[in-house]
Structure 1
Amino acid sequence: MDLVKKLQQVKDMYDEKGILTIYLSTDQTSNDQQKGEWKIRLKNGLKKLDEYNNLSSIENCKTFKNVQRKALDAIKSIQLELPRGIVLVAFPNGDIYLKKLQLQVENEFHWEKKPITKQLEKIKSNYPKEGILFLQKENVYMIETSLAEVTQEYSFELEVESNDWKQYEGLAARERKASGASHRDKFEQRLDANKLRWYKQLSDEINGKIKQNSIENLYLVGEKEIVSEFQKMLNIKKVTVIQKNYANLTSKQMIDQIVAS
């Protein structure tokens, strides 16, 4: 379940015994994290909560320790594949919500009767659904992203013989091989005469996906001339043009450089 839906579920939950909320930075690319400092911060953050609960009722302290143990087990289960940050909400009945984020988070530890979702809501607001369009003469790649993660990928390949774009989906979308020389020659001969019609045809498809999937921001990457033509045909207010060559990057690497940087 995605963050938006889960946030709506957990934000109004209540438990008299207490609910544990953890925001933990685990970014291994950060200089202060490469020696496992996240483990120390996790230990110290939970220790402070434990000390606080020791001053309250014995029953409350017992509940906290049980929830804490289950939370630690959940975090340890993913320690070999740590993202940049994690958000965890743990309940006395044993339910746990753990979200791995490819984004930085501020370290926070809470033991309250309701989940503390303020930072989660801020993250959701700062990182709406976005799209990246990588435009080439014969191929257009579209990456949909939420919270700096790939949610969907599409590839549109122009077939000169049929005067139409063929769509591919999923991970295989960016594994298409470049066309042969004879195909490119034929394409170049017909490009000037047909490019506006071809781009308009594809832009209608892209605009449909933007509307259907509630994409708020769009990044256009590619050759200046193609990007300029295509931008005029898009029905979205927030467009950022990036003039760099990302041809050799994976979708995740593109997102890391464009969205999460």
Structure 2
Amino acid sequence: MNISKQLNKLEKVNKQGPDKAFTMYLNTDPSDPEQQGGEWKLQFKNGLRNFEQYLEEANNKEELKNFQLVKQKVKKYVFENELALRKGIIIFASASEDVWFAARFQARLKTEFYWQETPVLDQLKSLCEHYPRTGVILVQQNEIKIIESYLNDVENTVYYELNLDTDDWRQKVGPRAANNTTGLGSINAQKENFKDRYEANKHRWYKCIASKLDKRAKDNHWEKIYVVGEADASQEIKTQMNMLVDKVIHKNMLDHKESKVLSEVFG
């Protein structure tokens, strides 16, 4: 989804006459205490009805007809996606159909409705600023997990694991096995041996993976970079990378769900 392109297009909209621009921000976040009973449905219904009642009372027949065309299209989109809702929906629309943007977002919104000459873009702009294209690097000694996110949504997840026989980082394919340690055998039996080897080689190991991380950050246009892990490993990754790391979080979250990691990163 190219939000920047959509924003540029929407910023140029200025509707004159009875064909106005409709804006809707709808909070559908099931984790919101105020949404536990599906209250968004009533808010959605009331938000549309209020405009309709106002236009009926104003006896503005042409504008009312335009709004009703928009309302039907908006209702169709919402109810077609009712079983796959996320935390919020944003819609911009016009009766002439020169304005149409509808998307579900993994970010909580403040429910708002507008029917006016121009789209109201403040919440969409705020989402773009708060949740830019981001690379989250989770490090745990000989394992690294990368979460690539945009607008608080996970776009890709990649694992790297250090082969201790060859000292080479390999990208893992398929699901990661928890607590897997290539070449170590039993963790309990070789714990001290690995600790000594880690201390002796960590600079070289992380320098090698840092070049891969830098390339991925550049190729995938990361706007923000976060490194998450135990203090020693995460600081070493930051030091070895050429790309600017915006923040280091000293927490071991490699085995946590992506949604929990993003919640920790973005607050």
Aligned partners of 1:11 and 1:56: how far apart in 2?
A: 30
Deviation, structure 1 residue 155 = 1.3
**What does residue 211 of structure 1 align with?**
218
Aligned residues of 1:132 and 1:220 also touching (Cα < 8 A): yes
What secondary structure, in the 3-state scheme, does the structure 2 residue paired with 1:194 have? helix
What is the identity, as a one-letter code, of the residue corresponding to 1:191?
Y
Shift of 1:157: 1.3
- What are the ranges of 5 or more consecutive residues in structure 1 without an aligned counterpart? none
Deviation per CA, 1:25-75, whole angstroms, max 9, x where unpaired? 111111111112111211222122213322153121111111101101211
The root-mean-square deviation of aligned C-alpha atoms, in Å, is: 2.5
TM-superposed deviation, 1:240: 2.3
- What's 1:197 paired with? 204
Farther-moved stretch of structure 1 (177-186 vs 239-248): 177-186
Q: TM-score, normalised by structure 1?
A: 0.86
- The offset of 1:108, in angstroms, is 1.4
Task: Please state whether the residue corresponding to 1:76 is helix, strand or coil.
Answer: helix
| Partner Cα separation in structure 1 for residue 186 and residue 247 of structure 2 | 31
1:35 aligned to 2:37?
Answer: yes
SS at match of 1:131: strand
Query: Per the alignment, do residues 12 and 183 of structure 1 end up closer, same or farther by CA in structure 2, a change over 3 Å counting?
Result: farther
> What secondary structure, in the 3-state scheme, does the structure 2 residue paired with 1:179 have?
coil
What amino acid is the match of 1:52? Y
Matches within 5 A, 1:129-208: 129-168=133-172, 172=174, 175-177=176-178, 178-179=180-181, 181-182=184-185, 185=190, 190-208=197-215
Q: CA deviation at 1:5?
A: 3.1
What is the TM-score normalised by the length of structure 2?
0.85
Q: What number of residue pairs does the alignment pair up? A: 257
Task: Find 2:120's aligned residue among 107, 110, 116.
Answer: 116
Aligned partner of 1:256 in structure 2 is 263
Q: Are 1:75 and 2:78 counterparts?
A: yes
Q: CA deviation at 1:78?
A: 1.8
CA distance in 2, matches of 1:92, 1:133: 45
Aligned 8 A contact 2:146 2:158 in 1: yes
TM superposition shift of 1:115: 2.3
SS of equivalent to 1:230: helix
Task: Supply the distance in 1 between the matched residues of 2:157 and 2:8 (Cα, whole angstroms).
Answer: 26
Q: Percent identity?
A: 28
Whether contact under 8 Å (1:20, 1:68) holds in the other structure is no
| Distance (Å, rounded) in 2 between the aligned partners of 1:149 and 1:58 | 42
Query: Residue 157 of structure 2: SS of its match in structure 1?
Result: strand
- Partner-residue secondary structure (3-state), 1:175: coil
**Structure 2 residues not aligned, in runs of 5+:** none
